[in-house]
Amino acid sequence: MNDEFEVSESQFQSAFDFKAFLFRALSYWKLYILFIGIGVFIVYQQNIRKQQSYRLSTQISIEEESNPLFTSTTSLTFNWGGVSGKVQTMMTSLSSRSIHEKVVDNLQFYISYLKQSRFRKDDVYKEAPFRVELLPNTNQVLNIPIKIVFLDNDTYELTFNFETNVVNTQNFTTKERGNLDVPIQEIKVKYTLGDTVLLPYFNATINLAENRKAAAGDEYFIQFTDFDAVVANYKNRLAIDNPKNSAILNLSMVDVNKGKIVDYLNETVQVLSEDQLNRKNQFVTNTINFIDAQLERVRTQLTSNSDSLNNYREQNKIYDLDGEGAVINSKLTNLELEKDNMNRKLAYYASLKTYLETSNTFTEVPAPSIAGIDEGNILSNISKINQLSVQKSKYESTVRKDALIFDDINRQIEGIKTVLLENIRTATSGIKREMQLINSKIATSESEIKRLPKAQQKLLGIKRQYALSEQTYNVFLAKRGEADIIKSASVSDVLVIDTAKDTGAIPIDLKLSSRYLFAVVGGLFIPLLAAFLLTFFDNKIHSPQVLEKLSKIPLLGVVGKSSLDESNLVVHLKPKSVVAESFRGVRSSLQYMYSKRSVEGSKIVMVTSSVSGEGKTFCSINIATVFALSGKKTVLVGLDLRKPKIFGDFEIKNDTGAVNYLIGQKSLKEITQQTNVPNLDVITSGPIPPNPSELLIGEKTDAFMATLKETYDFIVLDTPPIGLVADAFELLKYTDATVYVVRQDYTEKGMLNLINDKYDKGEIKNLSYLYNYYDQKGKYGYGYGYGYGYGYGYGHYANGYHEEALKTKSIISKLKSIFRLNKKH
């Protein structure tokens, strides 16, 4: 039956009472003061403990800086692509772990310089008057502050406080981590500035910073943090912004130490610029390495040929050729040079062909110009395939490897590779034809040499080899100088617009004073939220107006809150009270109802409610009393056979009553008891029967009601709650009017569902609500003690209905009574 009392969420929302919310919220003024006080205290504690954070930034531009010495014949560099492609590459580089590892390593940010403040150790960075120089390939203890106390200008004391017998260490040269066994104790060691500290857990030299002095008693801390953790921390904190996809990059960082931000941002830009320039010069660097290898080879040949020429001249006393020999030698030397140049071209083409057929990247090809290649198609295609290869390498670091863009680039590379291989084949065939012609000319010249004396022929051959090596060496040497000039002329594409600098940065955290505003808002919000939720989920009836909105059943009257704590006889004991006047109004309304319906003779009024605790018995007693005081012979009949209640207020016994009459043990006269109220008799319920419902539907009940109507003008029936048992429904056929009691701040809205349904179906007629315990000044959300102690659920009553569900209400009632007693004392 409890399901009848459930109300859906939509009903709650539609019946949300803003007035109730306002009154409830205003009643929480003490909570506002409490929570605002707590909030201000918390903010104050945070303010005095918090180290302010700052944000600084630097701005760079990615430019297309081409080499001013770039020509088609000195193609030792290549184009990286457009500016937009470079910007994305730079952003990817800035987000990479490798660049942050270099920056952290360069700045040694894994060393923290700290100074104890009131609530924390502040990072003082360059404000510390000393610097720590680590010894290479040594271990340093991690995450344990090392205390440094200066004893005088030159001496200091190190303090290590180990709380565990195993500590973590790291070698910041190799970045290897390890564990070290240490004693659980405090260790203090004295050193002089500049001394080398050699300990298992700390290996370094501590020196004063430039132009700094240390005063005796100064205390600082140094702490080492895991290298990878520091890198990850700064990597995540570097913010990169590319406004409107332009060539501008804004780099910013937040930290508690402004000096660290400045150094980190500027060092990041420096490392980025160097890496970019190195990548930009990679092609020319590869070419220089190739030329150096060739120079070394030719230098060896040239030295050997020079030695052979000098030795031959000394041995044979021949120092020069005659006129005819000189002419033939010059002609043959030129032919050999042409042949050597063609061989270099053939070797380059063969190497290039093998490289194209076996390599997946094409960024390490030496410049064609070093081999004298001047074929336009080959130069153009090498440049194109190089650009595509660089672009592919760039995308591999930013795009998934299964992306369609790689298929497109690979198709373009394969197409250019096919064309380039065909160009190589054609060029090779042409060179070989030229080689045949030159070989023929060489053979003719050699036949002419054979006519010369043997000594001159030998000298001619040696001089020719020497001249050939010298010419080749000079060619490579010129190319080497050209490559150096081009490399030196290259500049980074990273242009610094604004370096990071502390120009009076203000904290980015909320101002300390403004935080108190949030404390006040928070202090107001919590009670307001509580008031809203309590009102939103509150399904109690708090006013007669709410009751009228929830039901079509008419409202008979409104009874105020009683001031009597010991008795329910308000009308009898305080006939001039407001509550007594309320019951007189109820009496007038009932009489009007009877008159309108033309009810003559004796009238039966049944008083019931949804559940216990709503004041049903209180209303029954006072309705009966108000009728009796009007001179009408009235009887109050206790038909709540399960939990009889009315006898206590009249100071009478419940030994015999209606139950004895219904089972045929007693007569009506024997169960009727007189009261101190004139014209009012009381029939209590008597002993609790085992079958209350069956007892009320018997023929004896018909006779009982008929006899009562013959004797009394008004019969008031105090019945069990309809919401708990069905006994009251059995008595509806006897009644001329049914009064359904609803108590303010107690009766739930869902409890009316059952009676509304019965009323709508016509199963109950002549039904009216009586609104009980009305308190116009009452604050929504507070419970009220029911002064006269009414309530079901007391443990000494047997056969109670819903004992477990009502036990909590009984406990609450007792606590409220104790509270009231303490308040009186």
The predicted structure's pLDDT at residue 488: 64
Classify burial at 57, counting beta carbons within 10 Å of its beta carbon; exposed 0-12, middle 13-18, buried 19 or more. Answer: middle
Residue 492 vs residue 312, higher pLDDT:
492
What was the pLDDT predicted at 824? Answer: 41
CATH code, domain carrying 665: 3.40.50.300
Q: Is the pLDDT of residue 728 over 90?
A: no
Whether 395 contacts 405, CB under 8 Å? yes
Residues 533 and 557 placed together within one structural domain of the fold: no
- DSSP assignment of 263-281 equals HHHHHHHHHHHHHHHHHHT
pLDDT at 4 over 90: no
* 408 vs 603, residue with greater confidence: 603
Of residues 68, 59, 56, the one with CA closest to residue 494: 59
Q: pLDDT grade, residue 555 (50/70/90)?
A: very high
285-294 long-range Cβ contacts below 8 angstroms, 24+ apart: 285/487, 286/364, 286/365, 286/366, 287/76, 287/366, 287/367, 287/370, 287/483, 288/480, 288/483, 288/484, 288/487, 290/366, 290/370, 291/366, 291/370, 291/476, 291/479, 291/480, 291/483, 292/480, 294/370, 294/476
Is residue 125 situated within a structural domain?
yes
φ, ψ (nearest 5 deg) of residue 511:
-60, 145
Same domain membership, residue 472 and residue 327: yes
The percent of residues in the chain predicted with pLDDT above 70, rounded, is 73
Position 804 in a domain: no
Instruction: For 642-676, write each residue's pLDDT tens digit.
Output: 888 888 888 888 888 888 988 889 888 899 999 98
10 Å CB burial of residue 250 (0-12, 13-18, 19+) is middle
Q: Is residue 85 part of a domain?
A: no
715 and 659 share one domain: yes
Angle subtended at Cα 823 by Cα 817 and Cα 825, rounded to the nearest 5 degrees = 110
Instruction: Specify the residue for token string 């001047």.
Output: 374
Q: Reply yes or no on whether the pLDDT at 339 is more than 90.
A: no
Domain shared by 138 and 232, yes or no: yes
C-beta of residue 541 within 8 angstroms of C-beta of residue 744 = yes
Last residue in a domain, options 467, 493, 519: 493
Evaluate if residue 379 carries a pLDDT over 80. no
CA distance 587 to 603: 12
Q: How many domains does the chain have?
A: 4
**Average pLDDT estimate for 377-400:** 70
Q: What is the mean pLDDT of residues 718-728?
A: 78
Lowest mean pLDDT among 96-105, 147-156, 310-319, 581-590: 310-319
Quick one: 603 and 717 in the same domain?
A: yes
Residues 649 and 767 in one domain: yes
- Could you tell me the pLDDT band of residue 713, with boundaries at 50, 70 and 90? very high
Average pLDDT over residues 530-536: 87
CB 302 within 8 A of CB 470: yes
Distance CA 239, CA 265 (A): 10
Pick the last residue of a domain from 760, 777, 794: 777
39 is in which domain, residue-wise?
2-50+509-537
CB atoms within 10 A of CB 66: 12
Alpha-carbon distance of 140 to 194, in angstroms, equals 18
Give mean pLDDT, residues 414-422.
83
More confident residue, 277 or 117: 117
CA pair distance 234, 97, nearest whole angstrom:
10
Tell me which amino acid residue 318 is.
Answer: I
Contact 813, 592 (CB under 8 A): no
| Structure tokens, 85 | 């492609």
Name the residue with higher pLDDT: 273 or 80: 273
749 burial via Cβ count (<10 Å: 0-12, 13-18, 19+):
buried
Cα separation, 496 vs 16, whole angstroms: 62
Residue 70 lies in a domain: no
Q: Are residues 614 and 519 in the same domain?
A: no
Instruction: Tell me how far apart the alpha carbons of residues 618 and 610 are, in angstroms, rounded to a whole number.
Output: 15
Residue 161 pLDDT greater than 60, yes or no: yes
Nearest-angstrom CA–CA distance, 226 and 172? 9
Q: Which residue do the tokens 């903010």 mark?
A: 43
Token digits of residue 326: 């000189």
Q: Do 38 and 113 lie in a common domain?
A: no
Mean pLDDT value of segment 418-447:
79
pLDDT at 203 > cutoff 90: yes
Burial classification of residue 135, based on how many CB atoms lie within 10 Å of its CB (0-12 exposed, 13-18 middle, 19 or more buried): middle
Query: What are the contacts of 386-391 at 24+ separation with CB within 8 A?
Result: 386/78, 386/283, 386/362, 387/78, 387/79, 387/80, 387/81, 388/362, 388/412, 388/413, 388/416, 389/361, 389/362, 389/363, 389/413, 390/78, 390/80, 390/81, 390/363, 391/81, 391/85
Task: Please give the average per-residue pLDDT across 262-288, as a whole number.
Answer: 80
Percent pLDDT > 90 in the chain is 29
pLDDT of residue 144: 94
> Both ends of the chain: CA-CA distance in Å?
43
Averaged pLDDT for residues 487-496: 71
Higher pLDDT, 651 or 449: 651
CB atoms within 10 A of CB 405: 12
- Sequence-distant (6+) residues with CB within 8 A of 768 are 553, 554, 555, 556, 589, 593, 737, 738, 739, 740
Residue where one domain finishes, among candidates 777, 792, 816: 777
- Read off the tokens for 511: 């101002």
User: Which single residue is written with the structure tokens 């076996």?
Assistant: 358
Is residue 549 located within the same domain as residue 533?
A: no
Tell me what pLDDT residue 435 has: 81
Whether residue 504 is contained in a domain is answered as: no
603-609/186-192 β-pairing: unpaired
Q: Is residue 793 part of a domain?
A: no
Torsions phi, psi of 719, nearest 5? Answer: -115, 170
Residue 669 burial (C-beta neighbours within 10 Å; 0-12, 13-18, 19+): exposed
Cα 492 from chain centroid?
39
Average pLDDT over residues 225-251: 90
Quote the pTM value: 0.52
In a domain, 822, yes or no: no
The more confident residue out of 805 and 660 is 660
pLDDT at 491: 66
Alpha-carbon distance of 370 to 348, in angstroms, equals 9
State phi, psi for 199 to the nearest 5 degrees: -130, 155
Q: Would you say residue 12 has pLDDT above 70?
A: no
Mean pLDDT taken over the chain = 78
Asked whether residue 531 falls in the same domain as residue 657, the answer is no
- Write down the pLDDT at residue 715: 95
User: Is 2 or 352 the better-scoring residue by pLDDT?
Assistant: 352
Residues 6+ apart with CB under 8 A from 660: 666, 670, 671, 686, 687
Strand segments, DSSP code E, in 99-247 are 111-116, 121-123, 130-134, 139-141, 146-150, 155-161, 166-171, 176-181, 186-192, 196-199, 202-208, 219-224, 239-241
425 contacts 349 by C-beta, under 8 angstroms: no
Q: Which of 73-82, 277-286, 382-391, 573-582 has the highest mean pLDDT?
A: 573-582
**471, 568: one domain:** no
- Ranges of beta strands (E only) in 17-120 are 54-62, 111-116
Lowest mean pLDDT among 143-152, 229-238, 652-661: 652-661
pLDDT above 50: residue 9: no
Same domain, yes or no, for 327 and 377? yes
557-567: average pLDDT:
80
274: tokens are: 């160097």
- Residue 818 falls inside a structural domain: no
Helix (H, G, I), strand (E, B) or coil at 458: helix
- Grade residue 764 by pLDDT with cuts at 50, 70 and 90: confident
Does pLDDT of 306 surpass 90? no
Number of helices (H), then strands (E), in the chain: 23, 24
Closest by CA position to 607, among listed 617, 592, 597, 599:
617
Report pLDDT for 256: 87
